[in-house]
Structures are given as structure tokens and as C-alpha cells.
Chains A and B, each alone.
Chain A
Amino acid sequence: MLNFIIRRFVFIAILLVLVSIVSFITIQLPPGDWLSAYVTALKVQGAQINEEIIEGLKIQYGLELPPVQQYFRWVTGLLQGDFGFSFSYSRPVADLLAERLPATIGISVLTIIVTYAIAIPIGIYSATHQYSPLDYTFSFLGFIGLSMPSFLLALILMFVGYKYFGLSIGGLNSPEFIGEPMSWAKFSDMLAHLPIPILIISLSGTAGLIRVLRGTLLDEIRKPYVDTARAKGLKERVLLYRYPVRIAINPLISTIGWLLPSVFSGQVIVSIVLNLPTVGPLLYEALRGQDTYLAGSIVMILSFFTVIGTLLSDILLAIVDPRIRIEE
């Protein structure tokens, strides 16, 4: 087991290096460097720029170095918590991230919780009541959920809310609270704004999970060990939860980390549409404004979290399922 964990950690370290390379590439890819783009933008605005300052910036960010050295410079900075400088915000990237990360992680975690809280009961119901009217209803809704991109759902809900209820669904706070310090009133206002974005982001994950759980459970229910348990004289309900449900849910629970990439993906785009204070809109603005350090850092940090999530769930899976340990 310990061996398994160590190997996983080594693998994760490699993954993180790969992630950082990819993120760095996204920083480097845009044609020209951000500094010249920045300088041009400033000149357009009519600002006077001292050539010395530009040279200074170039040296500070190592722009004249070959890419490989720039990469190492960047990574060393990362390790010290220096994510670079955002030009559109004129602030260190680390500060911007620190502002947005709590909401980002909070919403993701809530989304995952909601996904499981909805999917598991429905999945069990659908499998144990196969072909019942409710099963068909859930299946149909599930197909819609899988087919409806989250940003479109957000758009449609905003449209419906605006047109028929006169509500504006965007943001995490009503306009009067924006910029206010955190208070009970603001907090409860936020709670009222949370459910819709979270439901939207969790939709496709929930639909997928119901589908997987239903399929697996239907398979498990027909396995011989269920008959063995039945032949022992166990009550149907007891044996259902003790055997097939446990076996079908095990991997779902422990592969929670695998949900993270899609949750982050969904969250980024829904946040842009609904204007939530997560890193999503920040990334969008950064990409459109060629604010490359900001954009690269966001890609990096999101990938970092998914990689860590995957690691944790792998270990969890090995703990709950004795078969995995043997295979590895």
C-alpha cells in the first residue's frame, strides 16, 4: 500500500512538471511577447514610456533569454509563489488568484457534492426500478443533461428568469452587495444566488454519473454473488445495499477526482456566462487581452488542482477496493 502511494506521488510529480510545461507553452504561444503588446497598448493610450523601463522589464522577466531558461525562471518563481505580473490589472497574478480561488474551489466542491447527492439516489432508484415510468423520465432527462452544454443552459435559464420572472441570474451577489465587506446579509444573499449556477455546472456530471451508476448497478444486481446473498436468507433491501450498491458505488465515490477536470471546465465557462467571481472570467479576459502570465497561471493552477484531486481519489480507491491494490 505504501509502495503504491509512493509510486503515485512520483507519477504526480511528473504530471505536475508536464502541466507546468503546457501552461508555459500557453504563455509563450501568442505571437510576439506580451511586453511589446503591452507597450503598444500603452502608446495607443498616449502614455509616455521610458525605454529604460522597458529594458528593465525585459531583464526582470528574462524575455531576452532562450525559452528553456525562461521556463526555469518561471518555474522557480512559481515555487516561491511568484506567478508573474498581470498587465491588464497592473497587479501581481498571485494576488488576483488569491481573490478568486476561494470562490472557484468553493463552487467546485459544492458542485461535486450536489452531483453525488442527486446522482446516487436517482441511479439506485433507476436501476432497481428498471423500465418504470420514473426510470424512463430520469433517463430522458439524463440524455437532455448530457446533450445540453452548460453555457447554453445558463443562457436559457437567464433568458427564462429575465423574461418571465424579471430576475437577473448573473453573479454571486446582488448589485448592492458588490464591493461590500462580507456580512451576514451578504452571505445569505450569496446563498440565494448559489443554487442555480451549481445546478447548471453539475448537470452534465450528474447525468453522466446516473447513467454510469444505473448501468453498473444493473450489471451488479445480476451477478451471482447477489443470489448467494439471497440464498443466505438476507432481506432484499439489506442485500441490495450491502452487496451490489456498495460495489457499484465504491468506484464512483473514490474516483471523485476524475470529475474535477470536467467540473473545472464547466465552471470556467458557466462563470463567464453568469459572471461569477471565479477564475473563469479572469481567464477569459486574460486570453482576450493577451495577459499571458495571468492566463498561463490560471491554466496551471486549475490543472494542479485536478491532478491533486486525481491522486487523492486514486489512493481512496485503493483503500476501499482490495482488488485494485493487487492489480497495481
Chain B
Amino acid sequence: MQTPLLSIKNLRTYFHLDEGVLKAVDGVDLEMQTGQTLGIIGESGSGKSVMARSVMRLIAPPGRVEAGSQILLNTNDGEPVDIAQLPYDGDALRQIRGKSISMIFQEPMTSLSPVHRVGDQILEAVLLHVTRDKTEARAITLDAIQRVGIPNPERAFLSYPHELSGGLRQRIMIAMALACRPQLLIADEPTTALDVTVQWQILRLMDALRNDLGMAILYITHDLGVVAQIADTVAVMYLGQIVETADVFTIFERPLHPYTQSLLKSIPKVGAQSRQRLEAIGGTVPVPINLPVRCRFADRCQFVKPECSIAAPALRLVDNGHAVRCFLHHQEVEHGR
């Protein structure tokens, strides 16, 4: 197997609050290959967004990527870089941001500066990473705007964000992210704020662009339907940890973790008995402060066993490419976390 593009090992992002340490991301391991789309799915509060932002080191105090976390990025030019070790606001980190890895955010309205023309906002990234030549940079920008399917790039270039619709703004965000041809695109719920038809267009667009540009996409969402459409591989997060990971077909057809199973049961199905009630997962996601050492899903799990309250299960492969963190499927205990 080739060296992975991105390899995350034991990523821990903690928020140091007055009330204690909030372990938003608590030991995540991931690998991504070039050209692959990895979908991360989880409820709000599962730490998926914090995880994605940690990759870009976009964590503000009191949050912190803890020592011992590794985020290895295999750039085109030689040695892999450990993003977690780079000095904040250093040249090396800034060379990665926007150039090797780009990111699009959930809120297309507030993610763009309201007082700058959208074209200038894209141009800024191009000038930073691709060329210093203004004319060339402008051409690249216009090309990027065209690529995301905006009919009149010249006009869009000169607009302000409030003059554009939500869908167009998200296309602009994508254009901005892609203008510098990144190897990895992190999309943090980019379609959540959009209506379903626009959502579908944006997903199609991203998938097409991934094929054109040969990049990888890390796609964060809480929407199982979206994952099914776009992802090759899926990782399910719960309370800062990955509880199950497999390719997209396996996740939907043969989910092993009780949490994944209940997530799937909570999707309404076309053709289901109309009287059948949707199943909800009991309880709420607790706030991960001072969690005891035990299975984090034990409280809400239907199949809870005595050992679930004594030790924490490890994430172990149970099948080819299918790993799960549950004592129902293996007996390995996680140590040292």
C-alpha cells in the first residue's frame, strides 16, 4: 500500500476550562489516501468538527492539541510533515494552510468577510500560494469561480457576499478552497445550512472536482444521507473517539457498534410502515469532562454488559478494514488513555 496522504495518530484536543478538562477529541487515529473521500459522522458534540479543525490547527485557547498527537501530512515534496509539531503562525504551517490543505465551513454566510468583494477574498489565497503576479492570480481566481459552476465569473468576482445566495456563497467558498489546488479538502458540514436541492448540487460538484483535481476529501457531517452519497470510507465518532470505521457499504449494511446501529435506525425510510415510529437514541451526549474509564456509550447502549462499566474497549479490526470499539465484538481493553 502506498504511503497515506494524511495519517493521524492518537490525536487529542482538550479544552482546559475552569470546570475541568473537556476532552473534545480523545485519541483519534485515521489514515487517508490521495483521491479518497473519508466521511466522519457523529452527533453534535461528538468532537468531529474539533477533530477537523485540529488538522488545520484552527483550535483557539482554551483548546489545545495535546502533546503526543501526530498529524502526518505527506506533501508532494518529500518528507512527511507533522502538523501537530509545527510552530503556530510559523511559515511552515501557513504553507500548508490553504496550499496543501483547504477547508470549507458550515456557514457560507459568515465564513466570508462581509466587507470585501468575494473575488478579492479568493485572490488573496492565490497571491499567497500560487503566484505574485496580479493578472495571473486574477485569471486563476476567475477560472476557479468558473469551475464551481458560477455562470458569470467576472460579475461574481465583483460581488459582496450579501449579494449572493447561500448556494452561490458556498460555491465561492469551494472555489476559494480549490483555487490553490490542495491535496486535501476538509469540508466541515458544508451543506448543512443549505436546502436539499442545493445540497445535492454542491455534493455533486465536490465529487466531480475531487476526480478532476485528484485530491482527498475529509467530509464532516451529521447527515447519514450525505455520507452515503459522497464517502468511500466512513468513521463514526462518539464523544471524541472513533467508535467504528469501515467502507461506506459495510457501514450501512453491516454496522457493528450499537451506536452506529441506532444512528441508522433513526433515518426515516421511504416505504416504511407509516405507523412505525422512528427510533431515537435515548439520553443525550454527555459533556466530556471528567469521564470515568469505561465504555463511553454504556449509558445509552441497549446491549450493555457488565464489563462495559469497568473498562474502556479499544478500537480493533474485526474484519478487513472494519474496526469497532465495542466489547460485543472483541475483548480488547484500551490502555493508557
Contacts and interface: CB of A to CB of B under 8 A. Distances in A.
A9 B112 CA distance: 33
Contacts of A315: none
A146 B103 CA distance: 43
A234 B94 contact: yes
B115 A233 contact: no
Contacts of B121: 228
A321 B160 CA distance: 10
A234 B58 CA distance: 12
B105 interface: yes
Nearest to A321: B115
A231 B124 CA distance: 12
A323 B129 contact: no
A163 interface: no
B111 interface: yes
A243 B111 CA distance: 12
A320 B121 CA distance: 17
A235 interface: yes
B7 to A, nearest CB: 21
Main secondary structure of the interface of A (DSSP, over half): helix
B162 interface: yes
A222 B111 CA distance: 11
A241 to B, nearest CB: 13
A256 to B, nearest CB: 18
In the complex, which of the residues A224, A231, A246, A250 has the most CB atoms of chain B within 10 Å of its own CB atom? A231
A223 B114 CA distance: 11
A228 B162 contact: no
B115 A231 contact: no
A234 B115 contact: no
B103 A247 contact: no
Interface in A217-245: 222-225, 227-236, 243
Contacts of B105: 224, 227-228
Interface string B90-132: 0000111111001101110011111110000100110011000
Interface string A313-327: 000000011110010
Interface in A280-328: 320-323, 326
B111 A235 contact: no
B173 interface: yes
Nearest to B159: A322
B253 interface: no
A231 B95 CA distance: 10
Given A230-B58, A231-B103, A322 B162 contact: yes
B262 to A, nearest CB: 31
B162 A326 contact: yes
A229 to B, nearest CB: 7
Contacts of A235: 89, 94
Contacts of B115: 246-247, 250, 320-323
B59 to A, nearest CB: 10
Interface in A241-269: 243, 246-247, 250
Contact of A232 (B98, B110, B163): B98
A285 B116 CA distance: 52
B56 interface: yes
Contacts of B53: 227
B227 interface: no
Contacts of A322: 114-115, 160, 162
Given A227-B105, A326-B162, A232 B56 contact: no
B323 interface: no
B128 A233 contact: yes
Contacts of A222: 60
A243 B97 contact: no
B141 to A, nearest CB: 13
A233 to B, nearest CB: 4
A243 B56 CA distance: 19
B196 to A, nearest CB: 22
Contacts of B94: 233-235
Nearest to B101: A231
Contacts of B22: none
A228 B173 contact: yes
A256 B173 CA distance: 34
B217 interface: no
Interface in B136-192: 160, 162-163, 173, 176
Contacts of B102: 231
Contacts of B162: 322-323, 326
Nearest to B117: A322
Interface of B: 53, 56, 58, 60, 89, 94-99, 102-103, 105-107, 110-116, 121, 124-125, 128-129, 160, 162-163, 173, 176
12 contacts: A224-B105, A224-B111, A225-B112, A228-B112, A228-B121, A228-B173, A228-B176, A231-B56, A234-B94, A322-B115, A322-B162, A323-B115
3 closest A-B pairs (Cβ-Cβ)? A233-B98, A233-B97, A232-B98
